[in-house]
Amino acid sequence: MTEAPFVYVDEDKIISHLLCAVCQQPFINPHKPACKKHTFCFSCVKTLSSCPTCRHSIHGVEELKPAEDQMLLTLLNELVVYCSFRKRGCSWTGPRENLEAHKERSCEFHHCCWTARGCQTKASKKELPKHQVDCEYGDAQCPEGCKFVCERRFIANHLDQNCAFIKQRRREEELRENQRKQKVGTFERRVL
Ligand SMILES: [Zn+2]
Ligand SMILES: [Zn+2]
Ligand SMILES: [Zn+2]
Ligand SMILES: [Zn+2]
Ligand SMILES: [Zn+2]
């Protein structure tokens, strides 16, 4: 059994002929075993050794045939589902067969790939790459060239406090400044 990828609107009103006896959910990729009488989701029946309804034996996955009942397939395709990202705020509902296209083309609730790090950005599949290129939570390398990598939002802090390259440069500048002061001092002692 697989986790239900669809959340149905009006789940209670779905007619029982559309439900798989194994998972109790509307068929996904419906197939019939060798008994040719009963229908199950492919993933529900593919590992079984007999039909769950009539016990007719199943000798292998090659015995399973896709259900060809057009009425059944149409009714399944027309079941109304919520968008998978409903909990993130997407209010889309539509026929089950359109869900993939909605998510690919119009859903604006895809998560940034750095969600686990705390990025809250949601966008369409098309817009997301633009955000991810300079997402504050993405990896960034120190622009000074010290090879240090951290989340982009911490780079300023690194440059301010920890960058070995910048520290080295400051030490060199201090050194030059001290040498300059010494020279000026020597010069002043000589002329005064
Ligand atoms: Zn099933
Ligand atoms: Zn059967
Ligand atoms: Zn959506
Ligand atoms: Zn992000
Ligand atoms: Zn650095």
pLDDT-derived band of residue 75, with 50, 70 and 90 as boundaries? Answer: very high
Same domain, 144 and 89: no
In-domain check, residue 113:
yes
> CATH number, domain at 23?
3.30.40.10
Same domain, 189 and 160: yes
Give bridge partners of residue 110 from the DSSP assignment.
123
Q: Give residue-wise pLDDT tens across range 99-139.
A: 999 999 999 999 999 999 999 999 999 999 999 999 999 99
Same domain, 46 and 88: yes
Q: Give residue-wise pLDDT tens across range 178-187.
A: 999 999 988 8
Residue 125 tokens read as: 């599949």
In-domain check, residue 5:
no
Ligand closest in space to the Cα of 163: 5
Distances from the Cα of 169 to the Cα of 149, 154, 191, angstroms: 20, 21, 33
Q: Give residue-wise pLDDT tens across range 47-69.
A: 999 999 999 999 999 999 999 99
> What average pLDDT score do residues 74-94 get?
96
Range of the domain at 31: 11-95
State the distance from the centre of ligand 4 to the C-alpha of 142, rounded, in angstroms. Answer: 19
> Of 45, 47, 7, which is closest to residue 25 (Cα–Cα)?
7
Same domain, 150 and 128: no
State the distance from the centre of ligand 2 to the C-alpha of 68, rounded, in angstroms. Answer: 16
> What average pLDDT score do residues 4-28 get?
93
4 has a pLDDT exceeding 90? no
Q: Count structural domains, the chain.
A: 3
Same domain, 155 and 187: yes
